[in-house]
Structure 1
């Protein structure tokens, strides 16, 4: 239980720290783009190896396909509504991405922590941390610049999001350890589908726009980092 709490706190704290950095600190577009692309590269690998592949092995290809498709469709729909309500440059898209993939992702993380050693969850937890920090920073910065909200209110939104995702991880750890593999497979793959959609529509396009020369290198470095994390204790 202690390791679960430590991982949950670390992953969720990245949201608050990133939001505070984006609102009150200074982050250049190039720096933010590099970090977001780095996180995206890590997620490319971890969503396949830690979410999709285990779901196919333990449940079925059909369940994995349904989950991935559902996650992508729901993300696209919510992202569209947020663009209509807040505007495409408000930062709401990345907030939606973090929340939509974060809830099932953290449910799956909570399940993965049951009886697991540090090395077995390092890749997924590390990739979530890497993605949360720069994405929250960039989104909070955009919300402060274009959203018409006070800095304190924006920080409160991100703190509430961190709390929600923490509850999701704890719920996964405490409540889902006895459910069937089909349900867990759908949760994991829904998260993967939302991640894929967010990478395609929010993360990589923005990273390329702000740092077109190094975005590809940063993505590759992120993938390498996820490989290293995935082999810790292996």
Structure 2
């Protein structure tokens, strides 16, 4: 359990590091876009290798397909609800939006750690860490540009890090005793939500910042995730 807590804290701590990075040493938007694209490419591979494929082998293709599609649909509907009801301008709406984007990743990390050591989920944990850094850096910088103070912006990201840590731990602890097939479905549900998040939030942002090199950066992220998976 100690290793699980350590992995979760490191991954969620990337949000705090990224927020401080964006508030005090902001990157050029092009560089940020390339990092976001790389992280997205890595996450696509990681959720496939660490979540979907093991679930398919353990519980069958139908469970995997239904789980992935259900997770993607749930994310799309919740994302639409959050944006319609709260927008992203208020502190609460912004917190809800960035938490919604991060919960699937951290839930996926939590369930991936069930009956597995940190080395076995190195690709997923590393990909989430890589994703959290530029996401928090860009979000904190945009908050600062819109008139929020550094303290308020950092506080929002700290609250997000706490919520996402809780999601990862809930996935690890709360789902530990469920059966093999339900766990496979949950893993695929989380994977589908992550993929939907990447398609609607991550890759469009990367393309807006640098349409020329976003594709190459995404491929570099894919290679990185494959390498991490091989090491694990």
Could you state the TM-score of these two structures normalised by the residue count of structure 2?
0.87
Matches within 5 A, 1:131-142: 131-142=131-142
Quick check: 1:95 aligned with 2:104?
Answer: no
**Residues in 2 aligned to 1:82 and 1:143: alpha-carbon distance in whole angstroms:** 18
Corresponding residue for 2:65? 65
**Residues in 1 aligned to 2:99 and 2:116: alpha-carbon distance in whole angstroms:** 31
Quick check: 1:164 aligned with 2:167?
Answer: no
**Residues in 1 aligned to 2:58 and 2:18: alpha-carbon distance in whole angstroms:** 35
CA-to-aligned-CA distance 1:1-48 (integer Å, 9 cap, x gap): 332222111111011111222233312110110100010110111111
Write out the 4+ residue segments of structure 1 that deviate beyond 6 Å after TM superposition: 90-94
CA-to-aligned-CA distance 1:46-102 (integer Å, 9 cap, x gap): 1111111111111232222222122212221232233333259x9779614533313
- Superposed displacement of residue 190, structure 1: 1.7
Quick check: 1:29 aligned with 2:20?
Answer: no
Matches within 5 A, 1:47-66: 47-66=47-66
> Secondary structure of 1:231's partner?
helix
**Residues in 1 aligned to 2:99 and 2:170: alpha-carbon distance in whole angstroms:** 20
Instruction: Go from structure 1 to structure 2 and tell me whether the alpha carbon gap of 1:11 and 1:187 turns closer, same or farther (over 3 Å shift).
Output: same
CA contact (8 A) 1:79 1:93 kept: no
Could you state the TM-score of these two structures normalised by the residue count of structure 1?
0.86
Gaps of 5+ in 1: none
Corresponding residue for 2:175? 176
Corresponding residue for 1:86? 87
Size of the aligned set, in residue pairs, is 228
Corresponding residue for 2:193? 194
Gaps of 5+ in 2: none
Quick check: 1:208 aligned with 2:211?
Answer: no
Q: Give the CA RMSD over aligned residues.
A: 2.4
CA contact (8 A) 1:106 1:168 kept: no
**Residues in 2 aligned to 1:99 and 1:152: alpha-carbon distance in whole angstroms:** 21
**Residues in 1 aligned to 2:128 and 2:221: alpha-carbon distance in whole angstroms:** 12
